Structures are given as structure tokens and as C-alpha cells.
């Protein structure tokens, strides 16, 4: 699958999840996606083997101190199928899916995984290291889990 094919396929999945809205990539190539009242970003990277990245900004406006980076290293050792890192004054939580393997259920699973890791980790990171929470309007995992079987807030 070529990158342009993967991007077209991702756009078709995003249209399904957003009730038919046409997704538009920003200047970085990221699609903003609201799913279960949470904001995600989705992008396609790679030329020979395209990969779909789903990520959230867990904490914004936070400095990369040695203590924060050490904590992110601990988090990365504890979680599966995602990674947590600092870039551009932000802590991101991200997962990758091979574009050829992506289907709507896989996309929903990627979003759910990013959401659960973010909601579990972001509040304590912001409390300890500063910055501001940006994910899920500061909802808790318990509040969003109530919606696990209901698709809500799906729009770009």
C-alpha cells in the first residue's frame, strides 16, 4: 500500500467515525478527530510501509526536565502498545498501526488505548511537573468508560 492509498483509506475511516464529515489534514499532515468526547490526532507516515499514528496531547506547556524525562521512561516501561514522549513543550501519547492492517475496529481500539493511557497518566504528570491538561476536557477514565459501547462526539 502506498502512502497516498493509506491516506485515502484513513480519510474514509475518519468519515465513518465522524458521521460523514470530510477530514482535512492540518499543515503538519495531522487530522483532528473527536471520538468519545476526546480529541485525537491521526497521521500517516512512511513511504514504503505506511503507518497510521494515533496520538493525544496529554500535557501541554510543560518543560522537558530530567525528572519528567525519567518519569516518562518509567511510564514507557509499564505500558504496552503505546509510547509516551516529550516534544515541543508537550507530552504526547501515541500508538502506531500498520496502514495495511488498519480497519475501523482497529482504529477504534487505537483511540481507546491512547485514551486510557492518557487519562491514567496525564493528571499525575501535570500535577508533578506542571503544564496543563488538554485531553478529554479533563474527564476521568471512569467517566469515559461509561461510553465504551456508545459512539459519541464523533466529529472533526
pLDDT (tens digit per residue) in 126-139: 999 999 988 654 44
pLDDT (tens digit per residue) in 22-62: 888 888 889 988 776 678 899 999 888 999 999 999 999 99
Quick one: which of 52, 153, 138, 126 has its CA closest to 94?
Answer: 52
pLDDT (tens digit per residue) in 70-112: 999 999 999 989 999 999 999 999 999 999 898 889 988 998 8
Q: Report if pTM > 0.75.
A: yes
Quick one: which of 46, 37, 135, 34 has its CA closest to 84?
Answer: 135
- CA dist 27 and 36 (Å) reads 25
- CA dist 15 and 21 (Å) reads 5
Length of the chain: 156
Amino acid at each position: 500500500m502506498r502512502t497516498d492509498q493509506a491516506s485515502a483509506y484513513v480519510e474514509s475511516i475518519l468519515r465513518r467515525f465522524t458521521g460523514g464529515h470530510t477530514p482535512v489534514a492540518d499543515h503538519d499532515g495531522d487530522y483532528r478527530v473527536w471520538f468519545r468526547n476526546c480529541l485525537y490526532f491521526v497521521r500517516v507516515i512512511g513511504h514504503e510501509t505506511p503507518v497510521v499514528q494515533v496520538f493525544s496531547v496529554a500535557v501541554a506547556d510543560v518543560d522537558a526536565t530530567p525528572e519528567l524525562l525519567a518519569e516518562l521512561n518509567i511510564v514507557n516501561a509499564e505500558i504496552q502498545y503505546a509510547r509516551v514522549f516529550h516534544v515541543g513543550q508537550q507530552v504526547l501519547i501515541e500508538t502506531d498501526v500498520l496502514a495495511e492492517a488498519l480497519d475501523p475496529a482497529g482504529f477504534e481500539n487505537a483511540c481507546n488505548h491512547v485514551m486510557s493511557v492518557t487519562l491514567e497518566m496525564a493528571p499525575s504528570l501535570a500535577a508533578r511537573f506542571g503544564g496543563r491538561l488538554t485531553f478529554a476536557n479533563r474527564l476521568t477514565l471512569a467517566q469515559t468508560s461509561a461510553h465504551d459501547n456508545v459512539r459519541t462526539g464523533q466529529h472533526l
